[in-house]
Amino acid sequence: MANNLHFDLVSPERLLMSSEVEMVTVPGVEGDFGVYIGHAPVITTLRPGVLTVQRQGGSDERIFVRGGFAEVNLDGLTVLAEEAMPLAELDAAALDQRVKDAEEDVADAKDDETRQKAQERMDRLKELRVALMH
């Protein structure tokens, strides 16, 4: 399998993926970039967006990532994401309801700390919704 890239996706909770893949498209802060085997070493921060994993045979898996780092080295690609969620597991209607609930939480907040936490949650959900639409 010398033609495949070793890819690890890690979130704070667990190792989400560790496999040999053909290519990964990473949402870096300076733009998306594709990583194949033999890519030059690089470390970059991630922006909220969709990481696309292309497996041998052309099947793609799309994963929403928010925050974190990507490192390409001689061993392959490692993505350390603050948050990662496969888009296939998301339901648009349920996500829309969660955004609506979060907006109500912001409006109903009784103090600045509660309002800030609700605002951050709402912002994360909206980032996720934008990623799902693409």
What CA–CA distance (Å, rounded) separates 36 from 5? 6
Question: Considering only 31-40, 41-50, 77-86, 97-106, which range has the smallest mean pLDDT?
Answer: 97-106
Q: Does residue 91 carry a pLDDT above 80?
A: no
What CA–CA distance (Å, rounded) separates 88 from 1? 27
What CA–CA distance (Å, rounded) separates 10 from 18? 9
Average pLDDT over residues 105-126: 84
- Regarding whether 65 and 18 lie in a shared domain, the answer is yes
- Regarding whether 105 and 58 lie in a shared domain, the answer is no
Q: Mean pLDDT score of the chain, rounded to an integer?
A: 87
Q: Does residue 1 carry a pLDDT above 80?
A: no
- Regarding whether 83 and 99 lie in a shared domain, the answer is no
Q: In 3-state terms, what secondary structure has residue 70?
A: strand
Looking at the structure of the chain, the number of domains it has is 2
Which of 129, 117, 125, 122 is CA-nearest to residue 102? 122
Q: Does residue 45 carry a pLDDT above 50?
A: yes
Domain CATH number, residue 67:
2.60.15.10
Containing structural domain, residue 30: 5-88
